[in-house]
C-alpha cells in the first residue's frame, strides 16, 4: 500500500478509497475459509497445466499462488496498489519464477499494448455493493473483451443478485437521520450558527457508522431483524453472453406484516455450476412504512439509490392476490 492516508468517498469505508482494499480487509477475506477454499477449488479446476493466467486485482497474491500450483506456466498480476506484496508472496511460496506484476488500473492495463490473451482471467474485483459493482462489472467485461483468449475462462463468469425485504430497526434510516438532525440543531443553538447546508448534505450522504457490522464469517449481524418476504431474483450479469443493464426497479412480495426498513441483497459469484462465494449487503428504505402480507412493494434502482444507498418504496395490495 502507498504510504499516505486514504480518503473515503461518501458511502465508502476508508479501505475502499480509490478502489483499494486495506491490508486488514485482505486478512478478513482470507480468514473466511468457506470463501477461500471455494476459490482455491475453482482455480484448480479451471487452470490447466501450461495455462497463461491474469490475476486482475492481485492484492496479496494468494490467488496467483493457487494458479501457479495448478500448473500455470505464466501468471500476470495487476493491481492499483503496491504489487510488491503479491511478488513477495509468490516468492515465499516458491512460485516467483512464473509471476510478473504491474501496478496499474484495470482500464490502463486493458488499454496497454502487448499484454496478449490469457487462458484464465481471475477477476475478483467486486466490493459487495450492487451500486458500485455495476461499474466493476463493466471492468470485468473490458477484461473479457481485451484479455481473454478464445475458449478461455473468466472467474467469475456470472454475478447474480437476489433481494429481500426486511424489518430491521437498527437500519431505520429515517430514525438515524432524525438523530443527526437533532445533533445539528444542538450545535446551531450552542454555537449561534446556521448549519442548514450541512444538515442537507448529511441527509444525502450515508453515515459510515450506520453500515451494519459483519461476523467473522462475513455474514451481516442481523440481530432483531425480521424478513418480511422471500428473496426474489433481482438481476445479474452473465459475462458469457455480454453486457447486461440493471433493471429500473425490483418488485418484492410481502409474506409477513411489519415495517419495511431496508432491502438486503445477496450477491453470488459463479463459475460454471459452482458458487465461488456469496455476500450480503443492505440498502436503506428512504420512506419506511408498515406493509401487510399479500402486498407488493417496488423499489427503484435510480440515481438516488446509486448516490445515497437509499431506496424509495412504493407499496400496495397485490392486485393478483385474492381478497
Q: What is the pTM of this model?
A: 0.82
Prior bond of 130 cis (ω within 30°)? no
The pLDDT, as a whole number, for residue 18 is: 40
Pairwise CA distance, residues 31 & 14, whole Å:
20
Q: Is the pLDDT of residue 103 over 50?
A: yes
Q: Which of 119, 141, 115 is nearest to 70 (CA)?
A: 119
Pairwise CA distance, residues 100 & 115, whole Å:
12
Q: Which of 302, 316, 305, 304 is nearest to 252 (CA)?
A: 316
**Three-state SS for 122?**
strand
Where in the chain is CATH 3.40.50.150?
A: 14-155
- Contact between 246 and 301 (Cβ < 8 Å): yes
Highest-confidence range of 23-37, 62-76, 161-175, 187-201, by mean pLDDT?
62-76
Q: Mean of the pLDDT values across residues 225-248?
A: 91
pLDDT classification of 5: cutoffs 50, 70, 90: very low
Return the CATH number of the domain spanning residue range 160-317.
Answer: 2.70.160
The pLDDT, as a whole number, for residue 3 is: 31
Summarize pLDDT for 30-87 with one digit per residue, the tens. 667 778 888 999 999 999 999 999 999 998 899 999 999 999 999 999 999 889 999 9
- Contact between 263 and 227 (Cβ < 8 Å): no
The pLDDT, as a whole number, for residue 22 is: 66
The pLDDT, as a whole number, for residue 11 is: 39
Summarize pLDDT for 272-291 with one digit per residue, the tens. 889 988 899 999 999 999 99
Where in the chain is CATH 2.70.160?
A: 160-317
What sign does the dihedral 183-185-187-193 (CA atoms) show?
Answer: positive
- Contact between 307 and 201 (Cβ < 8 Å): no
Pairwise CA distance, residues 242 & 98, whole Å:
31
Which string of b and e fits 200-217 if b means at least 16 CB within 10 Å? eebeeebeeebbbebeee
* DSSP β-bridge partners for residue 181: none
The pLDDT, as a whole number, for residue 29 is: 67
Phi, psi of 321 (to 5 degrees): -95, 140
Q: Mean of the pLDDT values across residues 163-190?
A: 90
Provide the strand spans (E) within 124-273. 148-155, 158-167, 226-227, 232-238, 249-253, 258-271
The pLDDT, as a whole number, for residue 173 is: 84
Q: What is the mean pLDDT of the chain?
A: 87
The pLDDT, as a whole number, for residue 25 is: 67
Q: Does domain 14-155 have CATH number 2.50.20.10?
A: no
Amino acid at each position: 500500500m502507498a504510504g499516505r492516508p486514504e480518503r473515503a468517498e461518501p458511502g465508502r469505508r476508508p479501505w475502499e478509497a480509490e478502489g483499494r482494499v486495506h491490508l486488514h480487509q485482505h486478512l478478513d477475506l482470507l480468514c473466511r475459509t468457506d470463501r477461500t477454499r471455494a476459490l482455491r477449488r475453482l482455480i484448480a479446476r479451471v487452470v490447466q497445466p501450461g495455462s497463461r493466467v491474469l490475476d486482475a486485482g492481485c492484492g496479496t497474491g494468494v490467488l496467483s499462488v493457487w494458479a501457479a500450483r495448478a500448473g500455470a506456466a505464466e501468471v500476470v498480476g495487476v493491481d492499483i496498489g503496491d504489487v510488491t506484496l503479491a511478488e513477495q508472496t509468490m516468492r515465499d511460496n516458491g512460485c516467483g519464477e512464473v509471476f510478473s506484476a504491474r501496478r496499474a488500473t484495470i482500464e490502463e492495463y486493458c488499454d496497454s499494448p502487448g499484454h496478449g490473451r490469457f487462458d484464465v482471467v481471475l477477476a475478483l474485483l467486486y466490493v459487495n455493493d450492487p451500486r458500485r459493482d455495476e461499474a466493476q462489472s463493466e471492468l470485468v467485461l473490458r477484461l473479457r473483451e481485451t484479455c481473454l483468449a478464445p475458449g478461455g475462462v473468466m472467474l467469475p463468469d456470472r454475478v447474480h443478485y437476489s433481494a429481500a425485504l426486511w424489518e430491521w430497526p437498527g437500519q431505520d434510516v429515517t430514525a438515524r437521520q432524525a438523530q443527526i438532525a437533532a445533533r445539528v440543531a444542538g450545535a446551531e443553538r450552542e454555537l449561534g450558527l446556521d448549519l442548514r447546508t450541512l444538515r442537507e448534505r448529511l441527509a444525502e450522504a450515508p453515515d459510515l457508522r450506520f453500515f451494519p457490522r459483519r461476523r467473522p464469517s462475513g455474514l451481516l449481524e442481523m440481530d432483531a431483524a425480521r424478513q418480511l418476504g422471500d428473496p426474489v431474483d433481482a438481476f445479474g450479469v452473465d459475462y458469457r453472453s455480454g453486457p447486461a443493464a440493471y433493471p429500473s426497479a425490483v418488485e418484492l412480495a410481502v409474506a409477513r406484516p411489519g415495517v419495511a426498513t431496508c432491502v438486503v441483497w445477496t450477491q453470488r459469484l459463479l463459475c460454471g455450476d459452482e458458487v465461488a462465494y456469496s455476500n450480503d449487503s443492505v440498502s436503506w428504505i428512504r420512506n419506511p412504512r408498515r406493509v401487510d402480507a399479500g402486498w407488493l412493494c417496488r423499489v427503484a434502482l435510480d440515481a438516488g439509490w446509486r448516490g445515497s444507498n437509499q431506496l424509495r418504496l412504493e407499496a400496495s395490495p397485490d392486485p393478483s392476490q385474492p381478497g
